[in-house]
Each structure stands twice: as C-alpha cells, then as structure tokens.
Amino acid sequence: MIVFHDACHSPTQSLKLAYLAQHDSLTGLPNRILLLERLSRAIGLAKRHQHQVALIYLDLDDFKPINDSLGHAVGDCLLKSVAVRLSDCIRDTDTICRQGGDEFVVLLSEIEKPQDAVRIAEKILGALAAPHQIGNHELRITASIGISLYPDHGTNDRTLLNNADTAMYQAKNSGCNTYQLFKADMNDTRDQRTHIESQLHQALKEESPFLNFQPRVDVTTGDWVSAEALVRCRNPTVGNMAPMAFLPVAETSGLIVPIGHRVLREVCHRLQAWRAEGVNIVPIAVNISAIELRDNTLPVRIAEILAETGLETHFLELEVTESSLLHNQNDTTTSTLVALSHLGIRIAIDDFGAGKASLRYLKCFPIDTVNIASCFVQDMLDKPENAIFINALINFGQNLSLRIIAKGVETQAQLEHLKLQACDGAQGFLFSRPLLAEDFSTLLRSERLRWRSGT
C-alpha cells in the first residue's frame, strides 16, 4: 500500500508560505501586502483611541546608477544595508516595508504629534548618510522622504500611501536628501510633474529638445573664448518650456540621461561640422547631471562620441554643479572625473558658492575651471561679503592654476570690478543672451571674435 502525504497542507509549510507571501525575499522586510494589512489595523486603532498614524515614504536618491555601474549584486547588498539601518531607527511596534525597487515605507502606528514623524525622518536621513561598505566599495546614498498623517492627510490606507508618495516626490524635486510633510496643493504639483514628464517622453521621440549657446568672453581682451550649451525643450502647444520647469522633472524621472547623451552628441557634431565649413570654433561647456556623474561608463561613451565625430577633446568641457559633487563624494564619482580628465576633457565646477563647499574642496577633484554662481556676481557691488568671496576665489584659483569664470554678469560696472580682480572669463546678458545654434554660428563666422561695449 502506498500512502501520499500532501506537504502543502502541513502547518509548518503553510506558515512558511504565508511568511513568503508577506515578506520581501531580498531584505526580509514586510512587503506591500503586509504593510496594507498593518496600516488598516493601525487606522482602526487610531480611530478608536484618538491618536495619529504616520507613513514615511522613502525613495533612495539615484540608486539606479549605482546598480547599473557596479552591478545588481552590489545594489542588492546596498538595499540590505539600508534595510538594517532603517530597522535601527524605529520602535518594535512600527513597521518597515520594502515597497519595491529602491522604495521603502515606514509605518509609525501611533504618534502624538506630527513632529514625532519628522524626528524619525531626520533620524533616517542621518542614518543613511554614513558610508556603506559594500565589498571593496564605499558607497554613499541619500534619500527623499514624504510624510502623510492620519487623519489629517487621509482616512484610508490608499489615500495615505498616495499622499506620502506625493510628498516624497516634492522632497526629491527640492534637491533630494530631505523630507516633506504632505500638503493638499502637492497633488496639483504632482499632476503638473506627470504632465511635464509625458511631454519630455514625447519630445525625445520627436527629437524636439534643442540647444542654445551663451558665449563667454575673456575679461581682459573681450575675445569670445568659449560658450555654454543650454538645453531647451519645445512644446507644440505652449512653445518653449522653461528650463526650471522641465529639468528637475528630467532629473527625478531619469530622462536626464538620454537628454544629456543627446546634448553631448549634438555639441560634438555641430562643432565638427562648423569646423569643416571653415569656422573658427571655440570650446563648448556641457552640463552633466548627478545621475550621469555616477555612471562609470560615461568616459567610454564620451570617448566614442569624440571618436565618431573626430573632435579633439580640448573643445569639450564638462560642467558639474557644486551640489552634485557635494552629494556624490564616492569612489565612482572620483574615478569618473579622473577618467574624463585623462581623456583631456576639461572639468568645471558650476555654481560655486551656491552650496556649502569651501575653497579647500577644489583640491579634492580634477577641476580645471570654477564658475562663480551668478547670485554672488549680481550682488557683489552692493554686498561687500560677496565681493570678498569672489576676490578670494580668484586669488585661490590663480594659486591652483584654475580658470575662474563669473556667471550672470549684467552691467559694465560688474565687468570693471572683475577686470580689477584679474578674473579670467565672464558670461551673462551684458555680452549676449543665449543664442540659437544658427545665430551662434554667425557669431563664430564674424571676422572679429571680440565683444565690444555697446554691441
């Protein structure tokens, strides 16, 4: 006689299957199914006992480049490290859920006031900020956090989750590594963001992003010496989209990567085409996003573009904002910048002074050029502290053989002050507004590549 035993019906196996159905296989944290169950229970208890519940929705900033450049094994280890640190930030009665990908949700089942949730959010940001040692890699990661509260921001689980998610995107748009408490008008902002993202997808399909070029002059001679490439995007209904509207969305959605690649290709192709026509070309500065900066394949991709176009490396300069470098002090960023420098490409730090970097910080990376933030330049004649900062930066740059460019120059008086301080270059409306490619080409074709006051 043969007896069959159905192992699936054993109590042990049933418990194991139930656990697997409610927990994330990578981190061992509760998954969305268990979160919703516990959130519904917490809302019921809060309603009965008249206390508040908080949801903290957390998304890691720029996790994808780490995953893409170092591999999924390293990315998975980083996610597990994040899970451990999150667990250390909460009480036993609270719940951490891995929502999926690089998103986590923290359920604070009972709080007395909103500040309790804010305190936990700040604790989480601090815990994640310390370096994560993953094998031979020392990785730094930040997060954007959104907070929603029961009953102020919703009375059911779906609404609370959606509103915490909306607040998280607001935090990400505010510059990452921060938190936002949900507000009702954020839903309007999110709808607008979704609309802009849809427009960007369509623009990339139709190849409607285009470039403007803003010339730069030698402060001493007035010669046109270089230019900055500025990406613009055209909407068939409303016309040109404001950069401050679409660039943050491009950053948070990841669309900045294909946009950035397209800009690099177009700049190199245009420069080579102009030179083939006998035009005296000048170096062009291209902005590189934080996401691109963490991609260690960037030097290879740029080398391929240069080889494809035949353009020499000294005609290309890459600009990285001060904030991008401050938030990405890791091995990948440094090795990417070093590799680009070894190719012969000049590296510029943009908007210097707008963040919290000190002058000593300029020694940490292979920097060739420093662009002074326009907010300092525009007020330097009215605010002595701005003039002192600019003068110190110019002197420091000279000692390190760095080229210093003042951005946002709008008046002759500002230019004269920069001349007295021996600043190298300047850019701003005093010399030229951003030009369409055709108009910039006409400028390059002019017999005298020199700016003259009053022209």
Both tokens assigned to 107:
């359920």
| pLDDT (tens digit per residue) in 31-76 | 999 999 999 999 999 999 999 999 999 999 888 878 877 889 999 9
Task: State whether 199 and 322 are in the same domain.
Answer: yes
Residue 199 makes CB contacts below 8 A (sequence gap 6+) with: 233, 235, 241, 246
Kindly tell me if the per-residue pLDDT of 90 is higher than 90: yes
pLDDT score of 407 = 96
Decide: 46 and 114 in contact? Cβ < 8 Å.
no
* Owning domain of residue 135: 21-184
- Indicate the SS3 state at residue 159: helix
Task: State whether 151 and 29 are in the same domain.
Answer: yes
Task: State whether 354 and 256 are in the same domain.
Answer: yes
Kindly tell me if the per-residue pLDDT of 447 is higher than 80: no
Q: In this prediction, what percent of the chain has a pLDDT beyond 70?
A: 92
Q: What total number of domains does the chain contain?
A: 2
Average confidence (pLDDT) over 369-379: 93
Task: State whether 180 and 211 are in the same domain.
Answer: no
Task: State whether 285 and 348 are in the same domain.
Answer: yes
pLDDT score of 207 = 75
Confidence band of 437 (pLDDT split at 50, 70, 90): very high
Q: CATH number, domain at 72? A: 3.30.70.270
Mark which of 184, 213, 243 sits at the end of a domain: 184
| pLDDT (tens digit per residue) in 99-140 | 989 999 999 999 999 999 999 999 999 999 899 999 998 898
Please report whether residue 74 resides in a domain. Answer: yes
Average confidence (pLDDT) over 228-254: 82
Is the bond preceding 151 in cis, omega lying within 30 degrees of 0?
A: yes
Inter-axis angle of helices 11-22 and 32-49, to 10 degrees? 80
Q: Which of 163-172, 292-301, 351-360 has the lowest mean pLDDT?
A: 351-360
Sequential DSSP letters for 374-441:
HHHHHTTTT-HHHHHHHHHHHHHHHHTT-EEEEE---SHHHHHHHHHTT--EEESTTT---EEHHHHH
Mark which of 140, 156, 184 sits at the end of a domain: 184
Task: State whether 140 and 165 are in the same domain.
Answer: yes
pLDDT score of 201 = 87
pLDDT score of 357 = 62
CA distance 234 to 254: 19
Hey, what's the torsion of the CAs at 20, 26, 31, 34, to 10 degrees?
40
| Mean pLDDT, all residues of the chain | 89
Please report whether residue 146 resides in a domain. Answer: yes
Mark which of 137, 155, 184 sits at the end of a domain: 184
pLDDT score of 230 = 95
Decide: 414 and 377 in contact? Cβ < 8 Å.
yes
Task: State whether 76 and 173 are in the same domain.
Answer: yes
